[in-house]
Every structure is written in C-alpha cells, then in structure tokens.
Amino acid sequence: MGYKFITLTFSLLLLTYTLAAQETGTLYLKKVNGKIGWFESGDEQKHLKYTGEIADGKPNGTGELSSPSGKYSGEFKNGLMHGQVTHTYENGKKRAGEFRKGKPWNVKSYDKNGNIEYRWVNGIKHKKEEIPPQEWIDAWSSDSYMRKYEREKENTESEPYKFRIHVFSGNTTGAAKTSNSTLSLYWENYGLGFNQMTYKSTSSDDNVYDMQNSSIELSYITDFSYRIIKNMSATLGVGYIFSGSGKITSESPGIEFESESVSGFGIFEILGIKWYDLEFLIGMRHFRLTYSDFTSKVPNVPLIEPFTINGSHFIFGLAYSFQ
C-alpha cells in the first residue's frame, strides 16, 4: 500500500511539473544583439511568429509558425520543427511530412495543382524523376536500417572543435635564406600565435646580413565543411613584430654594424585539409621588415642606412583539434 502511494504521488508531481513547464502562447524569432532567439514580442511583418505550445521559452509541442511567405503547422521540439509538419506557401505550394531538427526528412513537396515536385527520403532531396520506388523507401525506413544509419551518423558527426593547435614553418634558399616557424593556439575560430624568423644573405659587394625577429600573430579560421568542400578550412592572419636584432658585416674594411630596432609586419593565408582530428596545412607568408639605428664599435665610422626586407614564401604545417 505504501509503495503504491509513493508511486502515485511521484507520478502526480511529475505530471504537475510537466504541465507547469509547458504552456501555450506566442513567440517571435528575431535577432537581438547579434544573436537569433525566441522572444515574446516582435513584428509580424519582419519576424517569424509562433503560436502554440511552449516550454523553456521555445516552441515545444504542437503549434504554427507563420511568415509573410507561408506557415508551418505541426510538431516542434526545442524551437525547431520536429515531427509531422505541413508547410503551406502563399502561392499554393505545399510540403508535408516528417521533419527532424528543422530539416525535411521524409517529406513530399507539391505544386499548386497537388502534383509531387520533390520528395525527401531520409533527409535526401530527390526530384520527381529521381524518387526511389516505394519498396526501396520502405526498406530504408525500416528499424534495422535506421539504427544502422543513426550509428553511422553518430560516428561521422561531432560537435564543432573548440580548440586547435597550429604548427607551421617555411623557408627559402638561394642567395637570401629566410626561415620562420609559428606556434598558434585557437579557441573556436580565433587564434593567437608566436612566430620567429631569420634572414641571412650575402650581397654582391660581400656584405653579410644576419637578421632575426619575433612577432605576435592574430588569425581567424573559416570552416568550409558545410559550405564548399567537406573537411577543408581557410586561415587568414597578420603578425606584428615586437622584437629583433640585426647584424651587417662589411668585408671591407671588416666592420660590424648592429641593430636592435626592427619594425614591420607579416601576413599569411593557409588552406587546411582535415583528416579526423589532424589537419594538413599549406599556405603563403608575406613579410616586410625594416632594421634601423645601426651602430658600430669602431669610432668615426658613419652609420649605414636602414635595411629593408620584402618577401614571400610557402609555409607548411600540421594542426590538431580537440574539444
């Protein structure tokens, strides 16, 4: 008797909580302070209007989402169409069927005369002439097939990476030799890195140039996985040189000029190709540096003019992404 009473009490409390958490009302989907969300006030001419069951401040349950171009009627979950939904356009066209997480899953699209134009089968859109036979659709929609599909989907889909580490370097050979190496840490799309660069060359009059500098770099990653080509990204960055030193040795009369005053910047663009948690990087780096205020330990020797370096070279590297 006591066990039944406890079970009944718990069930009533759970039902009361569910009814309290879910209510009926009106919400508007709009952008505020750069973020899109659901709000209790809005303009029907500018924003999507939802009327129906609400939970946690979002459409949850049965309702209707209307806009100047048409309306969605059916089931919603966590602010998205999820379940059986009918989308009616102002021009008379219609889509009806199962939606999942806001996207058509098993849905038919009709023209003004009620003829099928398109059909989504397990999330894949087919034109009328491409619609698979019904027996195929039934097989794809079976429990065993869907369980296999969901397992494969879980293995291939993951949450966006929050952290990445980029390591890349580049160099040139010949009369003027340059090399640089960079280590960058990214949080979501924004990166902060540290770069070291060296430059060595010998001029036609046998002057030897030996320069090095360090820079702080800021960069931004754009993920193309859902836009152009799967598993690719692009990075654009700029570096500010904050320290360095340079030495110029004149073979005749054998005098060394030194400087610790360097200014300039670097710009780089990188294309990344992802493979699981790793990413292969290739790109270009452009730089312009100026060393000035050279001094010499030899008295009565005039100071030389500022020395400027302009150049570009390929860079290669590897990235690792993690949550």
How is the chain split into domains, by residue range? 22-156, 163-322
Same fold, 22-156 and 163-322: no
- The pLDDT value given to residue 188: 84
CB-based contact 266:277 (threshold 8 Å): no
Amino acid at the residue 74: G
Whole-number pLDDT of residue 220:
95
Mean per-residue pLDDT pooled into runs of 10, the chain (323 residues): 52 50 82 85 85 90 86 90 89 89 88 86 75 52 52 51 86 85 92 94 85 95 66 91 91 81 94 89 94 82 80 92 79
CA distance 182 to 165: 10
**CATH of span 22-156:** 2.20.110
Structure tokens at 171: 């160099």
* Distance in angstroms (rounded) separating the CA atoms of residues 60 and 62: 7
Q: Which CATH architecture has domain 163-322?
A: Beta Barrel (2.40)
Q: Which of 189, 185, 184, 191 is nearest to 315 (CA)?
A: 184
